[in-house]
Structure 1
């Protein structure tokens, strides 16, 4: 399946299924080593870490809302900061969120969460794709998330 088709399918999922799919991609494919934080040194580790630390310090309900806001393009301080990040730093930020979910510092997936059929099919298609295609998919999904950064801000 073409990368654009996969991204289109992703954007047609509910926001919670989008979050679930990102988590499954990072955790399941991360275990195989095919999905990593991004090219080492290419992403702003300190910048992504600072934004991640802000989210980590929130309540679980606030953490979930931030993730939903990012995917929905809601404009607030966090989504504007995120919007100013480079594509690789955005990838690193989502990778850190997935790690935080596994560690319990970020709201975990609800136990027994089942994605809609469209999300399950998309995840299966991604599992069968090459590692570089998986990264391209993730980059395409997270690049357009967040909201417009404040005037003149670019990190």
Structure 2
């Protein structure tokens, strides 16, 4: 199942943040990839940096190890598969990670772009809708940015792991 079918429930999103998530979801695949790159270029400036201490790179050896050995064309294809929630080996490896580790994967890839990760095409111009989303992300407060980034990250990849229904959803209390 695409990762987004179980995501978003745990994120406390404001209406503004929900609108920015919807705007991001309305972008094309390559626009989303470019926007993720620009988001990570802005981290620590106008966009809140994700907490690297809340991640564990050892949980993503395929995405942070094997992936780096692939050709630029293969890497780009895998990024597209993840964004499009395709049922593939790498998309599944991404989809089973928790949001913070998913963010860590994108951060590591953005940091390695042009070195061990496929780079942005030279002369790439961000689209007007993508620039609009980036500016809207910059305008969010700290909590809004983190919630938005976690939601965007969790809406990608493929997983067949299903969320456990809550007590509110089932009407039953959990038993030990």
Calculate the TM-score normalised by the size of structure 1: 0.86
**Greater helix proportion:** 1
Contact 1:83 1:147 in 2 (8 A): yes
One of 96, 102, 112 as aligned partner of 1:100: 112
CA radius of gyration, larger in: 2
Find the residue that maps to 2:65 and give its secondary structure.
helix
Say if 2:129 is the partner of 1:125: no
Find the residue that maps to 1:85 and give its secondary structure.
coil
Partner of 1:144: 155
Partner of 1:115: 126
Find the residue that maps to 1:148 and give its secondary structure.
coil
Q: In 2, Cα distance between the equivalents of 1:112 and 1:78?
A: 29
Report 1:1-155 matches (<5 A).
Answer: 2-28=16-42, 30-32=43-45, 34-36=47-49, 38-48=50-60, 50-101=62-113, 104-149=115-160
Task: State the 1:116 CA deviation.
Answer: 2.0
Moved more, 108-117 or 5-14: 108-117
Count matched residues.
Answer: 148
Contact 2:67 2:75 in 1 (8 A): yes
Contact 1:60 1:107 in 2 (8 A): yes
Backbone CA RMSD of aligned residues: 2.0
Moved more, 107-116 or 127-136: 127-136
Structure 2 gap ranges (5+): 1-14, 163-176
Calculate the TM-score normalised by the size of structure 2: 0.76
